[in-house]
Chains A and B, each alone.
Chain A
Amino acid sequence: MLTMEDVSIRLGGKSIIKQVNLSVPEESILGVIGPNGAGKTTLLRAISGTIPLSDGKITFRGKDLSKLSILERARQIAVVQQARRLPGAYTCKETVLMGRTPHLNWLGHFEERDRRLAVEAMRRTGTLDMADRLIGELSGGEQQRVLLARALAQTAPILLLDEPTTHLDLQYQLNLLNLIRDLVNHGGLANSDAHLTVILTLHDLNLVGRYADQVAVMVKGSIQSVGTPMDVMTPDTLSPAFNVPLRSIPLDGQDKSPFIVPANL
């Protein structure tokens, strides 16, 4: 279980995250949605330890994440950021292998197992055929998949994905989310025997409804509502959150959440 208790973050005197309480069971996906500037990215950065908490605490399997060293934290949490800089001079394979960094010594010596996991991560993300290309030469979507491969190669039990589907075409959006679902259901990469807990932010409400086990709606730094997609993905909850009138299109007799579309489309 990954638990956030009264997590607050103030940056430069401004309150960005206000008393967030969330718990994410292991082997599940939490989708965080909300309008721009709601604090979704900041929340992920707080969990990854990039920005310190002003208040509250985050625990995983009962351990306070803020007490971990940088190295121990990297063994627990892998991240794919939304905005990032990529050096052009490394190949995809070199980049993915860097996911093994928290398991290597200071000199960065790769064992057979590290190489195997990197190849496996590339195979699962469909990036194996670009292994020897420079990441600077790839499209935004290809880079996104390479970074996901790097995060998977890290074999951390927590995976944080900030807008993982941006830059991806529809096919790869579905591929990526199916892959995440599959990894969560079947315990991460082969031979890594990690139970995977995923927190992702997405703008596409209907994809969140399909793939997340839990959805949290974030508005102005607070969690407005949280629950299963069935409970949360309703016009009543989402319309005020996004400040857009919405309506739902139920799907025939399934236990899946309805499609949410703008009311006046």
Chain B
Amino acid sequence: MRKTSPFLIASLVLAVCLMLSAVIGSVSIDLTSFFTIIGSVLSGQTVPLTLQPLVTILFSLRFPRTVLIALTGAALAGSGAAYQGLFRNPLADPYLIGVASGAGLGAVMAMTISWPQQISSMLFIPLASFAGALITVWTAYFLAKSGNSLPSTNLILAGVAVSSFATALTSYLMLYSNRELHRALAWLMGGASMSGWDPVTAMLPYTVIGLGILLTCGYALNVLQFGEEQAQQLGMDVKRIRLLVIFAATLTAAAAVSFSGIIGFVGLIVPHLIRMLWGSDYRKLIPLSILGGAAFLLAADIIARRIAAPQEVPVGIITALTGAPFFLFVLRRSRRQNVW
């Protein structure tokens, strides 16, 4: 059984999480009804009358949220794995290196402007997030770089500094802006505050493009683990790879932040779990992190919805509660094991 494909296992786990996320909630849906509805819809038959209310719940509430959460988890974990590979640093995650707070700042700045229609905010908020995130990640990178190397401690310190700066600006904007930003506050806490299919369709292109690019970069990231000089001697154009990976990972992470808010630690925990289970080959690590990230965030979201029901806890709190101890564990472990 040791040879079972990691992709099969990760896909099965994700499928289970998708299903649970759809059926668990204030109105719980039993599996028979669930499969009857799915079966009827897929085969084009009419759903039995008794199940009609559940169809509305599933297709207008549960599925959009489930898909949004899955996309967010996939985006955060996929970009986290790519940042770790690019910076050759086990602690590089979209939050620690300042990408998320930069994206948050960009998004809040966009929210302070009054847009004519909701759809334009759907379009411009992610772009503003992306711009904010790109600026912070480049700043952190250049602050941390010393000569040709990028020491872990420098990267984390620079990330923390840049993050705090962006967060402070964000808080200022939220306190002193005339516009109602309670939506921004709820959003910053993490948790899908927007509902319906609109955010899903708005987020999908960014995620697909970003993750699609990252999926092709696995081999290049493998070679890059030997350092820039050796990678160059093996024929890799390191500067081009760096630009490409930063662009794609930041696009993905910024999209996740602009639609789901600040959800920490997913990009850190998931790639590490995958590494421990199945090794550090980025050709596998990135796709498995994408599947695993979606599953992990769905699980966290189910807990967030049910733990204090009918109240809903922001999912960012759940991921931080599990993530912070794990972070310390990784910090200790990465010094002595051959996972890098």
| The one of B234, B279, B338, B339 that contacts A74, using a Cβ cutoff of 8 Å | B234
Of A48, A70, A85, the residue contacting B226 (CB under 8 A) is A85
Q: Are A50 and B339 in contact (CB under 8 A)?
A: no
The reply to whether A90 and B222 form a contact with Cβ atoms under 8 Å apart is yes
Cβ B339 vs Cβ A88 within 8 A: yes
Asked whether A74 and B235 contact (CB < 8 A) given A89-B279, A89-B338, A108-B220, the answer is yes
B281 within 8 A of A: yes
Do A48 and B233 contact each other (CB < 8 Å), given the known contacts A107-B219, A108-B283?
yes
Judge whether B226 and A98 touch: CB under 8 Å: yes
Q: Which residues of A contact B232 (CB under 8 A)?
A: 49-50, 70, 74
Report the minimal beta-carbon distance from A105 to chain B, rounded to whole angstroms. Answer: 9
Q: Hey, which chain B residues are within 8 Å of A70, CB to CB?
A: 232, 235-237
Instruction: Determine if B338 and A71 form an interchain contact, defined as CB atoms under 8 angstroms apart.
Output: no
A17-25, A75-83, A221-229, A245-253: which lies at the B interface? A75-83
A179: Cβ under 8 A from any B Cβ? no
List residues of chain B with CB within 8 A of the CB of A134: 338
A89 B225 Cβ-Cβ under 8 A: yes
Are A86 and B226 in contact, with the CB atoms below 8 A? yes
A90 touches B225 (CB 8 A): yes
Q: Which of B85-120 contact A (CB under 8 A)?
A: 88
Q: Give the Cβ gap from B147 to chain A, nearest Cβ, in Å.
A: 11
Number of interface residues of B (CB under 8 A): 27
Chain A contacts of B222 at CB under 8 A?
90, 94, 98, 108
Q: Are the C-beta atoms of A107 and B216 separated by less than 8 Å? A: yes
B230 contacts across to A, CB distance below 8 A:
79, 81, 84
- Which residue of chain B has the shortest Cβ distance to A50 in the bound complex? B229
Do A84 and B226 touch across chains, with their CB atoms under 8 A apart? yes
Interface secondary structure of B, over-half rule: loop
- Inside 8 A of A85's CB, which chain B residues have their CB? 226-227
Q: Let me know if B235 and A73 touch, CB within 8 A.
A: yes
User: Which chain A residues lie closer than 8 Å to B220 at the CB level?
Assistant: 106, 108
Q: Can you name the residue of chain B whose Cβ is closest to the Cβ of A137?
A: B338
Q: Are A108 and B218 in contact (CB under 8 A)?
A: yes
Which one, A89, A101, A136, contacts B235 given CB within 8 A? Answer: A101
With beta carbons under 8 angstroms apart, the residue of A81, A84, A108 that contacts B219 is A108
Q: Which residues of A are found within 8 Å of B58, using beta-carbon distances?
A: none
- Which residue of A94, A107, A136 contacts B338 across the interface (Cβ within 8 Å)? A136
Write the nearest CB–CB distance from B268 to chain A, whole angstroms. 17
Inter-chain contact B338/A101, CB cutoff 8 Å: no
Nearest CB to that of B237 among chain A residues?
A: A70
Contacts of B250 in A (CB 8 A): none
Known: A87-B280, A101-B223. 20 other contacts (CB 8 A): A50-B229, A50-B232, A70-B235, A70-B237, A77-B233, A79-B230, A81-B233, A84-B226, A84-B229, A86-B226, A87-B340, A89-B275, A98-B223, A98-B226, A98-B234, A102-B235, A107-B216, A107-B218, A108-B218, A108-B223
14 contacts between A and B (CB under 8 A): A50-B229, A50-B232, A81-B229, A84-B227, A85-B227, A86-B226, A87-B226, A88-B337, A98-B222, A98-B234, A106-B219, A108-B283, A137-B338, A154-B234
